[in-house]
Chain A
Amino acid sequence: MSERDDGLLLRSLAGELGRTEAAELRARLDADPALRGRMQQLRMMAGALRGARHDAFAAGFAGRVARRARAEYERGPLSAALLGRYFARLVPAVVAILVLLAAYTLRDSGPGQGGVDALLGLAPVTAETLLAADGPGM
């Protein structure tokens, strides 16, 4: 059975066909036992699926939601969502500051300094700086 025929039969079961489409389908069903069989299969499936519906959450659901809503209401305008929105506005400014700092440290980077070190403004590591770090005792 084609996908199109299945769609037609499913729409018929839901009463969604127009008068002309319904009459055409009735004529085809009268003439085609395979289509009738498919209709019956889909009708059974539709019944089984309707029976599988979950009807409610655990008892007291509305009360639990109402308590959460009340907590949100009492928290007022400084809710997490609003804070999130407020800080989201700062993101472009923070990114711009970071780019400026990176440009500044790159400009001041010395010879032989790696790209990441230069970007982060870390001092170049040389034999001289290592000896200095180890102290005069060595």
Chain B
Amino acid sequence: MKLRAPLSNVARAASPRREARGPDPRLMQDIPTDPELLAAARGGDAHAFRLLVERYEQAVAATVAGMLGRGDEAEDVGQEVFIQLFRSLDRYRGEAALGTYLRRIAINLSLNALKRRRRLAWRFPSRDQDREPLPEPATDPDAADAWETREHVRAAIMRLAPAHRAVVVLRMVDGCSTREAAQILQIPEGTVMSRLSRAMKELERHLTPYRRDNSSGQEGG
């Protein structure tokens, strides 16, 4: 596969970590757009494809790990999302934004993985199923609080039905708009909002025992 210098020069400028601090203005004008990277990848430019993977890794990780939890299964599905993009490079014509397109693949593959998981659970029942591997414990008390909250919220998301989980992950965790979530899930915006309202109530029910009365004074009411 070819490696083209102009795209490789801007790898750092286009990386997600760089985006978090804001792109370097000196390199902004050199950052290739998605269509440019897609065109280069179609022509066999491996580095252009890798830049696309780096650009959308966070979005796909948020969707896939949000749906499946952390672990090898999420990694496999995440890889498969980009491999499907690679296979469909010639067919993808940009009808939807690339982020929307990738999230749609990510949601569909995650839902398939959940179906497989249910079939396996039915055949081979286990007391360990649906449990995420525990992350490293935090030592700093503030960090421990944040970690606990995050883990409780993630565990509560895992208890939602797949259709509700998908809406919560896209709309609330990943920060998609209602319209974008509707496009990804291929359902009307009204359905997104009604599923989201029900899912939020369910999440509140799961999280009530863990809530701390430290921000609003709503607990007593």
Contact = CB atoms under 8 A, between A and B. Distances in A.
A51 B150 contact: yes
Given A10-B200, A11-B193, A49 B218 contact: no
Nearest to B67: A54
Interface residues of B, number: 51
Interface string B190-221: 00011011101101100100000001101001
Q: Is the interface of B mostly helix, strand, loop or mixed?
A: helix
A88 interface: no
B112 interface: no
Interface in A41-63: 41-42, 44-46, 48-58, 61-63
B194 A3 contact: yes
A72 interface: yes
B129 interface: no
A60 to B, nearest CB: 11
B178 interface: yes
A56 B173 contact: no
Contacts of A57: 57, 61, 65, 74-75, 78
Contacts of A64: 79
A11 B177 CA distance: 9
A3 B199 CA distance: 11
B178 A14 contact: yes
Nearest to B192: A7
Contacts of B207: 45, 48
Interface stretch (B28-36, B47-55, B117-125): B47-55
B73 to A, nearest CB: 12
A61 B150 CA distance: 23
A44 B215 contact: yes
Interface of A: 3-4, 6-7, 10-11, 14, 16, 37, 40-42, 44-46, 48-58, 61-66, 68-70, 72-73, 81
6 contacts: A6-B200, A37-B221, A41-B218, A62-B54, A69-B46, A72-B83
